Structure 1
Amino acid sequence: MRKYYLIIALFGAYFATHGGGVQALSAFRPAVPPPPRWSANMQMLRRHNNAAFEFWTEEDDTNLWEHCGLFEGDIMLHREWLRNGLLKEKFTWPDATVPFYIDSNDFNQTQMMTILEAFKEYHEKTCIRFRPYKKGDTNWIIIKGNYTGCWSSVGRRQGGQVLNLNTPRCVSHGVIVHELLHALGFYHQQSSTERDEYVKINWENILDGHAHNFNKYARTHITNFGVEYDYQSVMHYSSKAFTKNGKPTIEPLDPYASLGQRKGLSEKDISKLNEMYQEDCNADYLFSFDRLGSYLDELLEYFQNSLFSRNRPEERTQNVKN
């Protein structure tokens, strides 16, 4: 079975050639990282009854990632973090740069393009930079699709970590942007300390055993970076998240507000992210990336026109593994 290295290769070679001719990049092959230290916590996944996940559709008034059965829906935890108190620490990525590797066994060409389009939104709107894993990196994300659910750890975790996008359900722009924000260090918006000034939690409507998903974090744990509460954050629960009776579990105190969206980064998401990484986002470092937006446009156009037009293999249907 063919591996689809080329799209990652084209993206990665930019960092070695600083934007040379696209046709000259096709010989590049990405480095393959060792197994990540932080993969799936199988105990958490085995407890997950994924019926709601399997039957979710785009027409549902909840978010897909709310049905993944993990902490707050889609946050992967490990016992070591809880035991050592690591949830209280902040793990940002040095130089605002995230090394990545896409497991090409798990995604077809179209799905890999969708992942790159999510990277592209970050590159165009924030100072965050995703670059392919290279030998010697000590921290990276490996994007997989063979586990059940859409999920990520929160922030950088030493020794590599999995970000899972179950194929094909989780491979949509909004879900990918959401999970990448977790990996960058974001929790869900309604977990913020000041949330009760903006939303009402209807505890009586929450599924039994899921009330903990609506807990608030102390100011010593998370911060809003001086940015007001964001009803439209891609990180906000839907109004019926974890409902047991079809009634709202969260209601905005602003009668004109709606909760969350699946399109991508909100303006306040962008502001918070740039504030979070402000110290790493210096002009000297970012200068070498000033052509990245136009380069990605060229990359995606080349990939579509060249690979899809000649000897295109049939897209693979992924089996959901529980």
Structure 2
Amino acid sequence: MALFSFQLCFFIAIPIFIWESTATPNPNSDFKCDVPDEWLGIGNRSRSFFPGTTWPNGIVKYELHSSLSSQDRVEAQRAFDDIQSKTCIRFQPRSPGEAAYTSIEYDPKVCGLGHLCRTGGYQYAKFGGICRNKNTMIHELGHNLCLGHEHTRRDRDDYLHFNGCNPAEIPGKDNFETRGHLYDYTSRMSYQCGVCFGGWPKMSGVNPNSNCGNSEGLSVMDADKINDLYNCQGCYAHRWRPIDALSDVDRRNMVQFGKTSTGAPLYLCRGYVGGTMTSGKYWSETGICYLPNNGVEHQLRSRAQVFTVPGGRAFQIATMNSKSTRVPVGRKANAVECYAAVADIDEDGKGKETSIGIVCADSLNRAYFPYWGKEVVRSQYSVIVC
């Protein structure tokens, strides 16, 4: 299939679309996208979040096309449900005469195909072939919502390498604004790794055969991006800000969840350690994010984020069995969702500290905390909820 000229589309104002395959492949198969370089030739745009092209109030009008089978409709609804459960986006059936809507379609000639952002008229999110599943549709709807590809981010060379690849096989990089969001290997908007059109992870702890684009539905960080872009409120109002670029406003929006032995406030932060997006404590006096992993306390001054809540506090600390909603803050390399944990720790004569750490969905009986250079494990802890 020849590569379409997106530069031509840009200049004559034809809506941009994305064509790809997003099925979960066998790691040993020769899986390849229809058009791995579809972001090339997009012109000199500098942002992936285009003003005026998001869906007003996060409401996406849709129509289920007659080409869909009954199972296709089930998969489309599962995609809607996943996005709606993690963001403020809402999918509503199109009313007669409504001009702007996305058509959910089956197309046997493609694996995945979708327009970028809201075009203002008829547009679509398609799947076909072996890709007629929830995750493919989530990927295409992600494009409809203005999400670009993770593996073509302008900073992707900090996270991926393409050693030994033919230059023609390597996807181009875009110049889209990342809005301070960290790279996400598990993103539903990423292609698989371990092949030239997806790259190989530079970070230790990330398996190129299974840890790229492996989230079940939107990843934690995919949802964070959408909630940021659409200015979602309530339990989706939190924003993650870069630790090395905190503004005065960001600092005022930080929420204290812990304190040092001397009473200094500790805030929630997160960053990469060994392929895991783990959460820990940010101490503003040092400017460091302290993270627990593999028995050790890790310290990050960059490539980390601090949790903020613009406009007020809607979050609190509660026990694990609370009926309130746990706030997803990170994930393991295998995409298991993780939450922020809080516990009082007093060891080795260092004094009592209310520390902030992490607990993951596959081992809720063990929470991990950074404490004076080491990782401390607790079975009794609280979590941050909304």
Q: Distance in 1 between matches of 2:43 and 2:155?
A: 27
Following superposition, the deviation at residue 232 of structure 1 comes to: 0.9
Name the structure 2 match of 1:314.
Answer: none
Match of 1:251 among 197, 200, 209: 200
Percent identity reads 25
Relative distance call for 1:231 and 1:179 in structure 2 (3 A) is same
Asked if residue 169 in structure 1 is aligned to residue 130 in structure 2, the reply is: yes
* Partner SS, residue 96 of structure 2: coil
* Partner SS, residue 152 of structure 1: strand
Name the structure 2 match of 1:67.
Answer: 33
TM-score after normalising by structure 1: 0.57
* Partner SS, residue 131 of structure 1: strand
Contact residue 38 and residue 161 of structure 1 kept, 8 A:
no
Match of 1:269 among 219, 222, 233: 222
Contact residue 38 and residue 160 of structure 1 kept, 8 A:
no
Of Structure 1 and Structure 2, the greater strand share is in 2
Q: What is the RMSD computed on CA atoms of the aligned residues?
A: 3.6
| Equivalent AA in structure 1 for residue 181 of structure 2 | V
* Partner SS, residue 169 of structure 1: helix
Contact residue 193 and residue 216 of structure 1 kept, 8 A:
yes
* Partner SS, residue 92 of structure 2: strand
Contact residue 187 and residue 222 of structure 2 kept, 8 A:
yes
Name the structure 2 match of 1:178.
Answer: 139
Aligned positions of 1:137-216 closer than 5 A: 137-149=98-110, 150-166=112-128, 168-202=129-163, 204-206=164-166, 209-211=168-170, 213=171, 215-216=172-173
Name the structure 1 match of 2:191.
Answer: 237
Asked if residue 222 in structure 1 is aligned to residue 177 in structure 2, the reply is: yes
Larger Rg belongs to: 2
Relative distance call for 1:236 and 1:83 in structure 2 (3 A) is closer
Relative distance call for 1:57 and 1:232 in structure 2 (3 A) is closer
TM-score after normalising by structure 2: 0.48
Following superposition, the deviation at residue 68 of structure 1 comes to: 2.1
Q: Distance in 2 between matches of 1:127 and 1:40?
A: 25
Following superposition, the deviation at residue 250 of structure 1 comes to: 1.3
Match of 1:93 among 43, 50, 55: 55
Gaps of 5+ in 1: 1-36, 244-248, 284-322
Question: Higher relative contact order by CA 8 Å / sep ≥ 6: 1 or 2?
Answer: 1
Of Structure 1 and Structure 2, the greater helix share is in 1
Q: Distance in 2 between matches of 1:255 and 1:82?
A: 32
1:158-204: CA deviation from partner (whole Å, max 9, x where unpaired): 211122112x52211211111110111011102212222222233x4
Q: Distance in 2 between matches of 1:137 and 1:70?
A: 33
Contact residue 61 and residue 93 of structure 2 kept, 8 A:
yes
Q: Distance in 2 between matches of 1:227 and 1:184?
A: 16
| Equivalent AA in structure 2 for residue 101 of structure 1 | E
Gaps of 5+ in 2: 1-12, 235-386
Contact residue 102 and residue 124 of structure 2 kept, 8 A:
yes
Q: Distance in 1 between matches of 2:55 and 2:102?
A: 11
| Equivalent AA in structure 1 for residue 146 of structure 2 | G
Relative distance call for 1:61 and 1:95 in structure 2 (3 A) is farther
* Partner SS, residue 271 of structure 1: helix
Relative distance call for 1:261 and 1:157 in structure 2 (3 A) is same
Name the structure 2 match of 1:131.
Answer: 92
Relative distance call for 1:253 and 1:60 in structure 2 (3 A) is closer
Relative distance call for 1:89 and 1:58 in structure 2 (3 A) is closer
| Equivalent AA in structure 2 for residue 135 of structure 1 | P
